[in-house]
Amino acid sequence: MFDTLDAVLADAATHLTRAARDRKSPMHVPVVGTADGDLRMMVLRSCDQAIGLLRFHTDARSTKTATIGGNGMASVLAFDLEAKIQLRLRGTARIETTGAIADAAWAAASPYARRCYLAVGAPGSPADQPGSGLPTEVEGIRPSEEQLLPARENFAVLLIEPHSLDWLYLAHDGHRRAQFTRGEPGQDWQGTWVIP
């Protein structure tokens, strides 16, 4: 089944592109890590077939946006229990709050998804009581476009350009593992088999 590096790379691309478009995919919400060692689960919003760019949405006020800044590092860990496939990616990361990618992502997001960015404080801010942090007038409703206008300034995209990919297949008859790297975005992936 996984006898060539091309088949492995195609499998990784299939898993990630499906994860970005199918909320039932086991890799839809991978773990994302930043250089400070912090980890969080995030919804994978986009991945191209070449695994050249991963897109996630985030609050511009979150600590990860400061950690990553304009050019940081990030890692992604995704696992499909049924397929027994683990993917680990590392790459250059950046936060964009304006521009074509951020604007398109904002426009494509549902009103419920955009509502999250109306929270009165940054993620992780102290609160007097448990709650969403949303203003009471939008709690539990689909907000209007007018109500969502202030949320746009809090919306950002996290973009990761992977430069390394580690693929692991867990099998009773023997695990399989391959690693891929590329020097620059847009270059072809170069792979090698490694001991699992």
pLDDT digits (tens, 9 = 90+) for 173-185: 999 999 999 988 8
The span from the CA of 128 to the CA of 119, in Å, is 14
Instruction: For the chain, give the mean pLDDT.
Output: 95
Q: Looking at residue 164, what is its pLDDT? A: 98
Q: How confident is the model at residue 163 (pLDDT cuts 50, 70, 90)?
A: very high
Whether 57 has a pLDDT exceeding 80, the answer reads: yes
Go through the domains of the chain in sequence order and give each one's CATH number. Answer: 5-193 (2.30.110.10)
Find the mean pLDDT for residues 156-170. 97
Share of the chain above pLDDT 70, in %: 99
- Can you list the positions of beta strands (E) in 84-175? 85-96, 155-169
The span from the CA of 148 to the CA of 150, in Å, is 6
Find the mean pLDDT for residues 117-143. 93
Q: Looking at residue 1, what is its pLDDT? A: 74
The greatest distance separating any two alpha carbons of the chain, rounded to the nearest whole angstrom, comes to 58
Whether 186 has a pLDDT exceeding 90, the answer reads: no
Distances (CA, A) of 178 to 97, 161, 168: 35, 19, 7
Q: Looking at residue 118, what is its pLDDT? A: 97
The span from the CA of 73 to the CA of 180, in Å, is 17
Q: Looking at residue 71, what is its pLDDT? A: 74
Q: Looking at residue 18, what is its pLDDT? A: 98
pLDDT digits (tens, 9 = 90+) for 12-49: 999 999 999 999 999 999 999 998 999 999 999 999 99
Q: Looking at residue 184, what is its pLDDT? A: 85
pTM for this model (two decimals): 0.94
The pair phi, psi for residue 118, each rounded to 5°, is -90, -5
The span from the CA of 104 to the CA of 170, in Å, is 38
Q: How confident is the model at residue 151 (pLDDT cuts 50, 70, 90)?
A: very high
